[in-house]
Structure 1
Amino acid sequence: MKKPLLLSILLLSFFQIKAQEKISTREMNRINWMEFAEFVPEKISTVLLPTGTLEPHGVVNNGADNTAPEAMAKDMADELNALIAPTLNYGITGSMAAFPGAFHISEEAYRPFIRDILKGLAKNGFKNIILLNGHGGGQTKVLQEVAAEVATELGVRTLVINWWSVASDVTFEVFDENGGHAGLNETAYIQAIDPTLVHKERYSPEMATAYPTEGTWSASPFPSSIGLYEEGQGYPNFDEAQAKEYFEKVNAKILKLIKDTIRKWDMAGL
Protein backbone atom coordinates (compact mmCIF):
# COMPACT_ATOMS: atom_id res chain seq x y z
CA MET A 1 0.00 0.00 0.00
CA LYS A 2 1.31 3.42 -0.89
CA LYS A 3 2.30 5.66 2.00
CA PRO A 4 -0.02 8.57 1.07
CA LEU A 5 -3.01 6.19 0.97
CA LEU A 6 -2.03 4.59 4.27
CA LEU A 7 -1.63 8.00 5.84
CA SER A 8 -5.07 9.04 4.60
CA ILE A 9 -6.65 5.89 6.06
CA LEU A 10 -4.91 6.46 9.40
CA LEU A 11 -5.98 10.10 9.51
CA LEU A 12 -9.55 9.17 8.65
CA SER A 13 -9.60 6.56 11.43
CA PHE A 14 -8.15 9.07 13.87
CA PHE A 15 -10.78 11.70 13.11
CA GLN A 16 -13.56 9.10 13.30
CA ILE A 17 -12.35 8.09 16.77
CA LYS A 18 -12.12 11.73 17.85
CA ALA A 19 -15.63 12.36 16.54
CA GLN A 20 -16.93 9.47 18.61
CA GLU A 21 -15.32 11.01 21.71
CA LYS A 22 -17.38 14.20 21.33
CA ILE A 23 -21.09 13.84 21.82
CA SER A 24 -23.27 15.36 19.11
CA THR A 25 -25.79 16.94 21.51
CA ARG A 26 -26.31 17.39 25.22
CA GLU A 27 -30.09 17.09 24.94
CA MET A 28 -31.70 13.73 25.57
CA ASN A 29 -34.57 14.81 23.32
CA ARG A 30 -32.20 15.04 20.37
CA ILE A 31 -29.72 12.22 20.87
CA ASN A 32 -29.93 8.88 19.07
CA TRP A 33 -30.25 5.76 21.22
CA MET A 34 -27.06 4.18 19.87
CA GLU A 35 -25.01 7.29 20.60
CA PHE A 36 -26.60 7.45 24.06
CA ALA A 37 -25.36 3.92 24.74
CA GLU A 38 -21.84 4.90 23.67
CA PHE A 39 -21.64 7.68 26.26
CA VAL A 40 -23.86 6.74 29.22
CA PRO A 41 -22.71 5.70 31.75
CA GLU A 42 -19.11 5.07 30.68
CA LYS A 43 -18.32 8.64 29.63
CA ILE A 44 -21.25 10.63 31.03
CA SER A 45 -22.73 9.94 34.46
CA THR A 46 -24.49 13.24 35.21
CA VAL A 47 -27.90 14.41 34.05
CA LEU A 48 -29.60 17.79 34.53
CA LEU A 49 -33.39 17.75 34.90
CA PRO A 50 -35.08 21.17 34.63
CA THR A 51 -38.42 21.32 36.47
CA GLY A 52 -40.94 24.15 36.53
CA THR A 53 -44.57 24.97 35.88
CA LEU A 54 -46.86 27.35 33.99
CA GLU A 55 -48.05 30.37 35.96
CA PRO A 56 -48.18 34.20 35.67
CA HIS A 57 -44.90 36.09 35.92
CA GLY A 58 -45.70 39.77 35.71
CA VAL A 59 -44.59 40.92 32.26
CA VAL A 60 -42.51 37.87 31.31
CA ASN A 61 -43.67 34.54 29.90
CA ASN A 62 -45.95 32.16 31.80
CA GLY A 63 -43.31 29.48 31.35
CA ALA A 64 -40.53 31.45 33.03
CA ASP A 65 -40.14 28.69 35.62
CA ASN A 66 -39.30 26.37 32.73
CA THR A 67 -37.32 28.83 30.60
CA ALA A 68 -34.90 29.70 33.41
CA PRO A 69 -33.70 26.22 34.49
CA GLU A 70 -33.65 24.99 30.90
CA ALA A 71 -31.35 27.84 29.83
CA MET A 72 -29.25 27.25 32.92
CA ALA A 73 -28.85 23.57 32.05
CA LYS A 74 -27.79 24.39 28.49
CA ASP A 75 -25.28 26.95 29.74
CA MET A 76 -23.47 24.53 32.05
CA ALA A 77 -23.94 21.06 30.52
CA ASP A 78 -20.58 21.06 28.72
CA GLU A 79 -18.71 22.20 31.82
CA LEU A 80 -20.34 19.44 33.87
CA ASN A 81 -20.07 16.83 31.12
CA ALA A 82 -23.79 16.23 31.57
CA LEU A 83 -26.82 15.40 29.48
CA ILE A 84 -30.01 17.44 29.77
CA ALA A 85 -33.27 15.60 30.35
CA PRO A 86 -36.45 17.03 28.80
CA THR A 87 -37.90 19.83 30.92
CA LEU A 88 -40.84 18.90 33.16
CA ASN A 89 -43.07 21.85 32.22
CA TYR A 90 -46.06 21.20 34.49
CA GLY A 91 -45.90 21.45 38.25
CA ILE A 92 -47.59 22.17 41.57
CA THR A 93 -48.51 25.77 40.84
CA GLY A 94 -50.58 26.50 43.94
CA SER A 95 -51.84 29.99 44.73
CA MET A 96 -51.48 31.41 41.20
CA ALA A 97 -53.24 28.57 39.41
CA ALA A 98 -56.34 30.68 38.76
CA PHE A 99 -54.53 33.12 36.45
CA PRO A 100 -55.00 32.78 32.66
CA GLY A 101 -52.69 30.21 31.10
CA ALA A 102 -51.66 28.64 34.41
CA PHE A 103 -51.74 24.90 35.11
CA HIS A 104 -51.75 23.06 38.41
CA ILE A 105 -50.82 19.41 38.88
CA SER A 106 -51.96 17.88 42.15
CA GLU A 107 -49.35 16.49 44.51
CA GLU A 108 -51.08 13.10 44.24
CA ALA A 109 -50.32 13.05 40.52
CA TYR A 110 -46.99 14.87 40.57
CA ARG A 111 -45.25 12.81 43.26
CA PRO A 112 -45.40 9.38 41.52
CA PHE A 113 -44.71 11.01 38.15
CA ILE A 114 -41.48 12.68 39.25
CA ARG A 115 -40.52 9.48 41.08
CA ASP A 116 -40.81 7.45 37.87
CA ILE A 117 -38.82 10.06 35.95
CA LEU A 118 -35.98 9.91 38.48
CA LYS A 119 -36.10 6.11 38.51
CA GLY A 120 -35.96 6.15 34.70
CA LEU A 121 -32.87 8.36 34.73
CA ALA A 122 -31.22 6.01 37.21
CA LYS A 123 -32.20 2.98 35.10
CA ASN A 124 -30.54 4.60 32.09
CA GLY A 125 -27.23 4.71 33.93
CA PHE A 126 -26.96 8.20 35.43
CA LYS A 127 -25.20 8.33 38.78
CA ASN A 128 -25.64 12.05 39.46
CA ILE A 129 -29.20 13.35 39.00
CA ILE A 130 -29.34 17.13 39.35
CA LEU A 131 -32.78 18.75 39.52
CA LEU A 132 -32.69 22.40 38.47
CA ASN A 133 -35.99 23.57 39.89
CA GLY A 134 -37.63 26.77 38.67
CA HIS A 135 -40.74 26.75 40.86
CA GLY A 136 -41.01 26.83 44.64
CA GLY A 137 -43.85 26.34 47.10
CA GLY A 138 -45.10 22.82 47.66
CA GLN A 139 -43.23 21.58 44.60
CA THR A 140 -39.88 22.06 46.35
CA LYS A 141 -40.88 19.81 49.24
CA VAL A 142 -42.08 17.05 46.93
CA LEU A 143 -38.94 17.16 44.78
CA GLN A 144 -36.66 17.05 47.82
CA GLU A 145 -38.51 14.15 49.42
CA VAL A 146 -38.81 12.04 46.28
CA ALA A 147 -35.22 12.69 45.20
CA ALA A 148 -33.94 11.59 48.61
CA GLU A 149 -36.08 8.45 48.51
CA VAL A 150 -34.89 7.48 45.02
CA ALA A 151 -31.26 8.09 45.99
CA THR A 152 -31.60 5.73 48.94
CA GLU A 153 -33.56 3.08 47.05
CA LEU A 154 -31.40 2.95 43.91
CA GLY A 155 -27.97 4.01 45.13
CA VAL A 156 -27.79 7.11 42.95
CA ARG A 157 -26.91 10.65 44.01
CA THR A 158 -29.48 13.44 43.77
CA LEU A 159 -29.30 17.19 44.21
CA VAL A 160 -32.34 19.51 44.17
CA ILE A 161 -31.60 23.19 43.51
CA ASN A 162 -33.96 26.16 43.79
CA TRP A 163 -31.74 28.47 41.77
CA TRP A 164 -33.18 31.82 42.98
CA SER A 165 -32.72 30.82 46.63
CA VAL A 166 -29.17 29.56 46.17
CA ALA A 167 -28.35 32.80 44.34
CA SER A 168 -30.11 35.17 46.75
CA ASP A 169 -26.77 36.78 47.61
CA VAL A 170 -26.17 37.37 43.89
CA THR A 171 -29.45 39.31 43.76
CA PHE A 172 -28.18 41.69 46.45
CA GLU A 173 -24.74 41.84 44.84
CA VAL A 174 -26.07 42.86 41.42
CA PHE A 175 -29.14 44.93 42.36
CA ASP A 176 -28.39 45.98 45.94
CA GLU A 177 -31.88 44.91 47.02
CA ASN A 178 -34.05 41.82 47.31
CA GLY A 179 -36.11 40.36 44.46
CA GLY A 180 -39.31 38.42 44.16
CA HIS A 181 -41.47 36.13 42.11
CA ALA A 182 -41.40 37.75 38.64
CA GLY A 183 -39.60 40.60 40.36
CA LEU A 184 -36.30 42.29 39.72
CA ASN A 185 -34.17 39.15 39.74
CA GLU A 186 -36.35 36.65 37.88
CA THR A 187 -37.35 39.19 35.23
CA ALA A 188 -33.68 40.02 34.69
CA TYR A 189 -32.78 36.36 34.29
CA ILE A 190 -35.45 35.88 31.62
CA GLN A 191 -34.42 39.14 29.93
CA ALA A 192 -30.87 37.83 29.60
CA ILE A 193 -32.14 34.61 28.01
CA ASP A 194 -34.60 36.14 25.55
CA PRO A 195 -35.58 39.84 25.65
CA THR A 196 -38.61 39.13 23.45
CA LEU A 197 -40.20 37.33 26.41
CA VAL A 198 -40.20 40.57 28.43
CA HIS A 199 -43.12 42.95 27.77
CA LYS A 200 -41.99 46.15 29.45
CA GLU A 201 -44.82 48.13 27.87
CA ARG A 202 -47.32 46.12 29.95
CA TYR A 203 -45.59 46.79 33.28
CA SER A 204 -47.05 48.76 36.15
CA PRO A 205 -45.80 48.78 39.77
CA GLU A 206 -49.43 48.11 40.74
CA MET A 207 -48.93 44.56 39.45
CA ALA A 208 -46.76 43.78 42.49
CA THR A 209 -47.69 42.80 46.05
CA ALA A 210 -45.29 42.01 48.87
CA TYR A 211 -45.72 38.52 50.27
CA PRO A 212 -47.28 38.59 53.75
CA THR A 213 -45.29 37.69 56.81
CA GLU A 214 -46.42 34.43 58.36
CA GLY A 215 -49.64 34.70 60.32
CA THR A 216 -50.68 38.13 59.03
CA TRP A 217 -52.93 37.55 56.01
CA SER A 218 -53.53 35.06 53.24
CA ALA A 219 -55.31 35.39 49.91
CA SER A 220 -56.23 32.69 47.44
CA PRO A 221 -55.65 33.23 44.59
CA PHE A 222 -52.69 35.47 45.35
CA PRO A 223 -53.83 38.89 44.10
CA SER A 224 -50.77 39.82 42.04
CA SER A 225 -48.61 38.18 39.38
CA ILE A 226 -45.49 39.77 40.92
CA GLY A 227 -44.73 38.79 44.50
CA LEU A 228 -42.08 40.84 46.31
CA TYR A 229 -39.96 39.25 49.01
CA GLU A 230 -39.74 42.57 50.87
CA GLU A 231 -42.01 45.56 50.93
CA GLY A 232 -40.86 48.41 48.69
CA GLN A 233 -38.13 46.58 46.79
CA GLY A 234 -37.73 44.02 44.05
CA TYR A 235 -39.64 45.86 41.31
CA PRO A 236 -38.37 45.00 37.78
CA ASN A 237 -36.02 47.61 36.29
CA PHE A 238 -35.37 46.04 32.83
CA ASP A 239 -31.68 47.04 32.87
CA GLU A 240 -29.95 45.03 30.10
CA ALA A 241 -26.44 45.22 31.57
CA GLN A 242 -27.61 44.11 35.01
CA ALA A 243 -29.67 41.32 33.45
CA LYS A 244 -26.61 39.92 31.68
CA GLU A 245 -24.45 40.26 34.78
CA TYR A 246 -27.09 38.55 36.91
CA PHE A 247 -27.48 35.64 34.47
CA GLU A 248 -23.73 35.01 34.38
CA LYS A 249 -23.21 35.27 38.13
CA VAL A 250 -26.21 33.09 38.98
CA ASN A 251 -25.03 30.37 36.62
CA ALA A 252 -21.50 30.53 38.01
CA LYS A 253 -22.84 30.09 41.54
CA ILE A 254 -25.08 27.14 40.60
CA LEU A 255 -22.28 25.52 38.59
CA LYS A 256 -19.93 25.75 41.58
CA LEU A 257 -22.53 24.18 43.87
CA ILE A 258 -22.99 21.22 41.53
CA LYS A 259 -19.27 20.72 40.99
CA ASP A 260 -18.52 20.93 44.71
CA THR A 261 -21.31 18.48 45.56
CA ILE A 262 -20.16 15.90 43.01
CA ARG A 263 -16.55 16.29 44.13
CA LYS A 264 -17.50 15.70 47.75
CA TRP A 265 -19.67 12.71 46.84
CA ASP A 266 -16.65 11.26 45.06
CA MET A 267 -14.29 12.03 47.95
CA ALA A 268 -16.62 10.21 50.34
CA GLY A 269 -16.95 7.24 47.99
CA LEU A 270 -20.73 7.55 47.90
Structure 2
Amino acid sequence: MNYSIFTDTMADMNWKEIEEKGNAKVPVLFPLGVIEEHGPHLPLGTDIYLSYAICKKIKYKLIELKTDCLIAPPYYWGINHCTGSFPGTFSLKPETMIMALTDIFENLHQFGFDQVCCVNQHGDALHVNTIINSIKAANEKFNMSIRLLMEPYDLYTYGLSGKEDFIMLDNAAYSPELFAEDDANEKDLLDIHAGALETAAMEYFYPDAVRKEIVNQLKSYSLTESSLNEWIAGGKAVKNVVPLGYAGNPAGYEKKISTGKAIFEILADYCAKKIIEDTLAK
Protein backbone atom coordinates (compact mmCIF):
# COMPACT_ATOMS: atom_id res chain seq x y z
CA MET A 1 0.00 0.00 0.00
CA ASN A 2 1.65 3.21 -1.15
CA TYR A 3 -0.80 5.97 -0.26
CA SER A 4 -0.76 8.75 2.30
CA ILE A 5 -3.66 10.42 4.11
CA PHE A 6 -1.59 13.62 4.09
CA THR A 7 -1.65 13.95 0.29
CA ASP A 8 -3.57 17.06 -0.81
CA THR A 9 -3.89 18.27 2.80
CA MET A 10 -2.36 21.17 4.70
CA ALA A 11 0.43 18.81 5.79
CA ASP A 12 1.89 18.89 2.26
CA MET A 13 1.80 22.71 2.07
CA ASN A 14 4.30 25.29 3.34
CA TRP A 15 3.52 28.01 5.87
CA LYS A 16 3.35 30.80 3.28
CA GLU A 17 0.66 28.90 1.39
CA ILE A 18 -1.29 28.40 4.63
CA GLU A 19 -0.99 32.10 5.40
CA GLU A 20 -2.35 33.01 1.95
CA LYS A 21 -5.33 30.67 2.30
CA GLY A 22 -5.99 31.87 5.84
CA ASN A 23 -6.06 35.47 4.71
CA ALA A 24 -8.55 34.45 2.03
CA LYS A 25 -10.73 32.70 4.68
CA VAL A 26 -11.18 29.59 2.54
CA PRO A 27 -13.32 26.79 4.06
CA VAL A 28 -11.56 23.84 5.66
CA LEU A 29 -12.53 20.16 5.48
CA PHE A 30 -11.49 18.19 8.57
CA PRO A 31 -11.36 14.37 8.35
CA LEU A 32 -12.01 12.64 11.69
CA GLY A 33 -11.75 8.98 12.58
CA VAL A 34 -10.01 6.41 14.74
CA ILE A 35 -7.50 3.57 14.65
CA GLU A 36 -9.73 0.56 15.30
CA GLU A 37 -10.03 -3.11 14.43
CA HIS A 38 -12.07 -3.82 11.31
CA GLY A 39 -12.08 -7.58 11.18
CA PRO A 40 -9.27 -9.71 9.72
CA HIS A 41 -9.74 -8.26 6.23
CA LEU A 42 -9.46 -4.47 6.65
CA PRO A 43 -6.77 -2.24 8.18
CA LEU A 44 -7.06 -0.52 11.55
CA GLY A 45 -7.13 2.86 9.78
CA THR A 46 -10.30 2.14 7.78
CA ASP A 47 -12.40 4.92 9.35
CA ILE A 48 -9.85 7.69 8.90
CA TYR A 49 -8.98 6.48 5.40
CA LEU A 50 -12.65 6.82 4.44
CA SER A 51 -13.12 10.23 6.09
CA TYR A 52 -10.06 11.49 4.26
CA ALA A 53 -11.23 10.01 0.93
CA ILE A 54 -14.63 11.69 1.29
CA CYS A 55 -12.96 15.03 2.06
CA LYS A 56 -10.87 14.67 -1.10
CA LYS A 57 -14.01 14.05 -3.18
CA ILE A 58 -15.66 17.12 -1.65
CA LYS A 59 -12.54 19.18 -2.33
CA TYR A 60 -12.48 18.16 -6.00
CA LYS A 61 -16.18 19.00 -6.32
CA LEU A 62 -15.51 22.43 -4.85
CA ILE A 63 -12.68 22.95 -7.31
CA GLU A 64 -15.04 22.00 -10.17
CA LEU A 65 -17.41 24.66 -8.82
CA LYS A 66 -14.58 27.25 -8.80
CA THR A 67 -14.33 27.33 -5.00
CA ASP A 68 -11.11 27.04 -3.03
CA CYS A 69 -10.76 24.98 0.14
CA LEU A 70 -8.22 23.11 2.25
CA ILE A 71 -8.16 19.73 3.95
CA ALA A 72 -6.79 19.80 7.48
CA PRO A 73 -4.38 17.03 8.52
CA PRO A 74 -6.58 14.03 9.39
CA TYR A 75 -7.32 13.43 13.09
CA TYR A 76 -7.42 9.77 14.10
CA TRP A 77 -6.97 9.64 17.88
CA GLY A 78 -10.63 9.12 18.76
CA ILE A 79 -12.76 7.03 21.09
CA ASN A 80 -13.47 3.32 20.62
CA HIS A 81 -15.92 2.34 23.32
CA CYS A 82 -17.38 -0.68 21.53
CA THR A 83 -14.25 -2.35 20.15
CA GLY A 84 -11.75 -1.21 22.76
CA SER A 85 -10.93 -4.76 23.88
CA PHE A 86 -9.39 -5.73 20.50
CA PRO A 87 -5.60 -5.44 20.06
CA GLY A 88 -4.70 -2.49 17.85
CA THR A 89 -7.78 -0.47 18.82
CA PHE A 90 -6.59 2.84 20.30
CA SER A 91 -8.94 4.94 22.41
CA LEU A 92 -8.67 8.29 24.19
CA LYS A 93 -10.59 9.52 27.19
CA PRO A 94 -13.31 12.01 26.20
CA GLU A 95 -11.66 14.83 28.15
CA THR A 96 -8.36 14.20 26.34
CA MET A 97 -10.03 14.26 22.94
CA ILE A 98 -11.96 17.44 23.74
CA MET A 99 -8.75 19.21 24.73
CA ALA A 100 -6.96 18.00 21.59
CA LEU A 101 -9.76 19.00 19.20
CA THR A 102 -10.32 22.35 20.91
CA ASP A 103 -6.61 23.14 20.51
CA ILE A 104 -6.72 22.11 16.84
CA PHE A 105 -9.74 24.33 16.22
CA GLU A 106 -7.94 27.19 17.97
CA ASN A 107 -4.92 26.63 15.73
CA LEU A 108 -7.11 26.83 12.62
CA HIS A 109 -8.68 30.02 13.99
CA GLN A 110 -5.22 31.51 14.56
CA PHE A 111 -4.29 30.65 10.98
CA GLY A 112 -7.31 32.65 9.79
CA PHE A 113 -9.77 29.82 9.13
CA ASP A 114 -13.24 30.07 10.68
CA GLN A 115 -15.43 27.85 8.48
CA VAL A 116 -14.77 24.14 9.10
CA CYS A 117 -16.72 21.09 7.93
CA CYS A 118 -15.92 17.98 9.99
CA VAL A 119 -16.31 14.63 8.24
CA ASN A 120 -16.38 11.65 10.60
CA GLN A 121 -16.68 8.00 9.56
CA HIS A 122 -16.68 6.42 13.01
CA GLY A 123 -20.08 5.75 14.55
CA ASP A 124 -19.22 5.09 18.21
CA ALA A 125 -21.74 7.23 20.13
CA LEU A 126 -19.24 8.43 22.73
CA HIS A 127 -16.82 9.41 19.97
CA VAL A 128 -19.49 11.41 18.09
CA ASN A 129 -20.76 13.10 21.26
CA THR A 130 -17.21 14.13 22.09
CA ILE A 131 -16.78 15.69 18.64
CA ILE A 132 -20.05 17.55 19.06
CA ASN A 133 -19.04 18.88 22.48
CA SER A 134 -15.66 19.97 21.11
CA ILE A 135 -17.28 21.78 18.20
CA LYS A 136 -19.79 23.57 20.41
CA ALA A 137 -17.04 24.71 22.78
CA ALA A 138 -14.81 25.97 19.97
CA ASN A 139 -17.63 27.76 18.15
CA GLU A 140 -18.47 29.66 21.31
CA LYS A 141 -14.91 30.33 22.44
CA PHE A 142 -13.42 31.34 19.07
CA ASN A 143 -16.54 32.59 17.26
CA MET A 144 -16.07 30.01 14.52
CA SER A 145 -18.50 28.20 12.23
CA ILE A 146 -17.54 24.56 12.72
CA ARG A 147 -20.05 21.91 11.73
CA LEU A 148 -20.23 18.14 11.77
CA LEU A 149 -21.60 16.33 8.74
CA MET A 150 -24.37 14.04 10.01
CA GLU A 151 -26.92 11.68 8.54
CA PRO A 152 -30.62 12.28 9.35
CA TYR A 153 -31.05 8.79 10.82
CA ASP A 154 -28.39 9.58 13.47
CA LEU A 155 -30.16 12.65 14.87
CA TYR A 156 -32.40 10.77 17.30
CA THR A 157 -29.43 8.99 18.88
CA TYR A 158 -27.90 12.31 19.87
CA GLY A 159 -31.10 14.18 20.72
CA LEU A 160 -30.70 16.59 17.80
CA SER A 161 -33.14 18.16 15.36
CA GLY A 162 -30.66 18.78 12.54
CA LYS A 163 -31.24 22.52 12.72
CA GLU A 164 -28.39 23.11 15.16
CA ASP A 165 -25.72 25.53 13.95
CA PHE A 166 -23.02 22.91 14.63
CA ILE A 167 -24.61 20.31 12.32
CA MET A 168 -24.40 20.04 8.54
CA LEU A 169 -27.25 17.66 7.80
CA ASP A 170 -26.85 15.36 4.81
CA ASN A 171 -30.10 16.10 2.99
CA ALA A 172 -28.86 14.85 -0.36
CA ALA A 173 -31.42 13.20 -2.63
CA TYR A 174 -30.44 9.54 -2.49
CA SER A 175 -32.48 7.06 -4.49
CA PRO A 176 -34.12 4.45 -2.20
CA GLU A 177 -32.90 1.78 -4.62
CA LEU A 178 -29.35 2.48 -3.47
CA PHE A 179 -30.15 1.03 -0.07
CA ALA A 180 -32.36 -1.84 -1.20
CA GLU A 181 -31.03 -5.30 -0.37
CA ASP A 182 -31.03 -7.49 -3.48
CA ASP A 183 -30.27 -10.66 -1.51
CA ALA A 184 -33.32 -11.87 0.42
CA ASN A 185 -31.06 -13.76 2.82
CA GLU A 186 -29.39 -10.50 3.86
CA LYS A 187 -32.58 -8.41 4.26
CA ASP A 188 -32.46 -8.34 8.07
CA LEU A 189 -28.68 -8.41 8.39
CA LEU A 190 -27.18 -5.75 10.67
CA ASP A 191 -24.26 -4.69 8.46
CA ILE A 192 -22.82 -2.24 10.97
CA HIS A 193 -19.08 -2.83 11.17
CA ALA A 194 -16.54 -3.94 8.55
CA GLY A 195 -19.36 -5.55 6.57
CA ALA A 196 -20.26 -5.41 2.90
CA LEU A 197 -20.70 -1.65 2.49
CA GLU A 198 -17.64 -0.60 4.48
CA THR A 199 -15.51 -3.21 2.74
CA ALA A 200 -16.87 -2.04 -0.62
CA ALA A 201 -15.96 1.55 0.24
CA MET A 202 -12.40 0.51 1.01
CA GLU A 203 -12.25 -1.50 -2.21
CA TYR A 204 -13.43 1.56 -4.14
CA PHE A 205 -10.94 4.00 -2.60
CA TYR A 206 -8.06 1.71 -1.55
CA PRO A 207 -8.27 -1.67 -3.33
CA ASP A 208 -4.85 -2.75 -2.08
CA ALA A 209 -6.02 -2.40 1.53
CA VAL A 210 -8.67 -5.14 1.32
CA ARG A 211 -7.28 -8.60 2.10
CA LYS A 212 -8.97 -10.47 -0.76
CA GLU A 213 -7.58 -13.83 0.29
CA ILE A 214 -9.30 -13.41 3.66
CA VAL A 215 -12.51 -11.50 2.92
CA ASN A 216 -13.87 -14.04 0.47
CA GLN A 217 -13.67 -16.74 3.14
CA LEU A 218 -15.65 -14.80 5.76
CA LYS A 219 -19.19 -15.90 6.56
CA SER A 220 -22.11 -13.52 6.97
CA TYR A 221 -22.50 -12.63 10.65
CA SER A 222 -25.27 -10.52 12.16
CA LEU A 223 -25.87 -9.20 15.64
CA THR A 224 -29.12 -10.06 17.39
CA GLU A 225 -31.04 -7.59 19.53
CA SER A 226 -29.35 -8.82 22.70
CA SER A 227 -25.85 -9.02 21.19
CA LEU A 228 -26.31 -5.54 19.72
CA ASN A 229 -26.88 -4.27 23.26
CA GLU A 230 -23.66 -5.99 24.34
CA TRP A 231 -21.85 -4.37 21.41
CA ILE A 232 -23.12 -0.93 22.45
CA ALA A 233 -22.14 -1.58 26.09
CA GLY A 234 -18.54 -2.26 25.06
CA GLY A 235 -15.98 -3.99 27.26
CA LYS A 236 -14.34 -7.41 27.06
CA ALA A 237 -17.63 -9.17 26.30
CA VAL A 238 -17.67 -7.64 22.82
CA LYS A 239 -15.02 -10.12 21.66
CA ASN A 240 -17.50 -12.90 22.45
CA VAL A 241 -20.24 -11.11 20.49
CA VAL A 242 -18.12 -10.42 17.38
CA PRO A 243 -15.25 -12.93 17.65
CA LEU A 244 -13.65 -11.90 14.35
CA GLY A 245 -14.34 -8.19 14.83
CA TYR A 246 -16.92 -7.69 12.08
CA ALA A 247 -20.73 -7.58 11.92
CA GLY A 248 -22.23 -7.95 8.46
CA ASN A 249 -21.31 -9.75 5.26
CA PRO A 250 -17.86 -8.61 4.13
CA ALA A 251 -17.70 -11.29 1.42
CA GLY A 252 -20.63 -9.58 -0.30
CA TYR A 253 -18.68 -6.36 -0.84
CA GLU A 254 -18.37 -6.63 -4.63
CA LYS A 255 -22.13 -6.18 -5.07
CA LYS A 256 -21.94 -2.96 -3.04
CA ILE A 257 -19.08 -1.20 -4.82
CA SER A 258 -21.31 0.56 -7.37
CA THR A 259 -23.70 1.51 -4.56
CA GLY A 260 -20.89 3.00 -2.50
CA LYS A 261 -19.52 4.89 -5.49
CA ALA A 262 -22.95 6.42 -6.21
CA ILE A 263 -23.49 7.38 -2.56
CA PHE A 264 -20.09 9.08 -2.29
CA GLU A 265 -20.61 11.00 -5.53
CA ILE A 266 -24.00 12.30 -4.37
CA LEU A 267 -22.65 13.12 -0.91
CA ALA A 268 -19.63 15.03 -2.24
CA ASP A 269 -21.77 17.05 -4.65
CA TYR A 270 -24.26 17.92 -1.91
CA CYS A 271 -21.59 18.92 0.62
CA ALA A 272 -19.69 21.07 -1.88
CA LYS A 273 -22.82 23.03 -2.79
CA LYS A 274 -23.80 23.35 0.86
CA ILE A 275 -20.36 24.70 1.79
CA ILE A 276 -20.59 27.27 -1.03
CA GLU A 277 -24.07 28.26 0.16
CA ASP A 278 -22.80 28.70 3.72
CA THR A 279 -19.77 30.70 2.52
CA LEU A 280 -22.00 33.09 0.58
CA ALA A 281 -24.32 33.42 3.58
CA LYS A 282 -21.43 34.69 5.68
TM-score (norm 1): 0.75
Give the percent of matched residue pairs that are identical in Structure 1 and Structure 2. 22
**Given the alignment of the two structures, is residue 134 of structure 1 paired with residue 146 of structure 2, yes or no?**
no
Alpha-carbon shift at residue 142 of structure 1 (Å): 0.8
205, 209, 216: which one aligns with 1:197: 209
Q: Kindly indicate whether the alpha-carbon contact (under 8 Å) linking 2:80 and 2:91 is maintained by their aligned counterparts in 1.
A: yes
Q: Kindly indicate whether the alpha-carbon contact (under 8 Å) linking 1:55 and 1:62 is maintained by their aligned counterparts in 2.
A: yes
- Report the CA distance shift for 1:150/1:179 in structure 2 as closer, same or farther (over 3 A): same
Q: How does 1:1-270 map to 2 (within 5 A)?
A: 26-42=8-24, 44-58=25-39, 59-80=41-62, 81-137=68-124, 138-162=126-150, 166=170, 173-174=177-178, 176-177=180-181, 179-203=191-215, 204-206=217-219, 208-210=221-223, 212=225, 217=230, 220-221=235-236, 222=238, 223-224=241-242, 225-228=245-248, 235-239=250-254, 242-257=256-271, 259-260=273-274, 262-264=276-278, 266-267=280-281, 269=282
Letter in 2 for 1:226: Y
Alpha-carbon shift at residue 50 of structure 1 (Å): 0.8
For 1:73 and 1:181, locate their aligned partners in 2 and report how far apart those are by CA, in whole Å.
21
Q: Which 5+ residue runs of structure 1 have no aligned equivalent?
A: 1-24, 229-233
The residue matched to 1:210 in structure 2 has which SS?
Answer: coil
- Report the CA distance shift for 1:207/1:57 in structure 2 as closer, same or farther (over 3 A): farther
Alpha-carbon shift at residue 64 of structure 1 (Å): 0.3
The residue matched to 2:51 in structure 1 has which SS?
Answer: helix
Alpha-carbon shift at residue 211 of structure 1 (Å): 5.9
The residue matched to 1:132 in structure 2 has which SS?
Answer: strand
The residue matched to 2:10 in structure 1 has which SS?
Answer: coil
Match of 2:3 in 1: none
- Report the CA distance shift for 1:262/1:139 in structure 2 as closer, same or farther (over 3 A): farther
For 1:160 and 1:94, locate their aligned partners in 2 and report how far apart those are by CA, in whole Å.
20
Q: Kindly indicate whether the alpha-carbon contact (under 8 Å) linking 1:188 and 1:236 is maintained by their aligned counterparts in 2.
A: no
Letter in 1 for 2:46: A
Structure having greater relative contact order (Cα 8 Å, sep ≥ 6): 2
The residue matched to 1:87 in structure 2 has which SS?
Answer: coil
Letter in 1 for 2:253: F
Alpha-carbon shift at residue 154 of structure 1 (Å): 1.7
- Report the CA distance shift for 1:207/1:105 in structure 2 as closer, same or farther (over 3 A): farther
Q: Kindly indicate whether the alpha-carbon contact (under 8 Å) linking 2:58 and 2:268 is maintained by their aligned counterparts in 1.
A: no
Aligned length in residues: 237
Q: Which 5+ residue runs of structure 2 have no aligned equivalent?
A: 1-6, 63-67, 155-169, 182-189
What is the root-mean-square deviation of aligned Cα atoms in Å? Answer: 3.1
Match of 1:16 in 2: none
Q: Kindly indicate whether the alpha-carbon contact (under 8 Å) linking 1:131 and 1:159 is maintained by their aligned counterparts in 2.
A: yes
- Report the CA distance shift for 1:202/1:33 in structure 2 as closer, same or farther (over 3 A): same
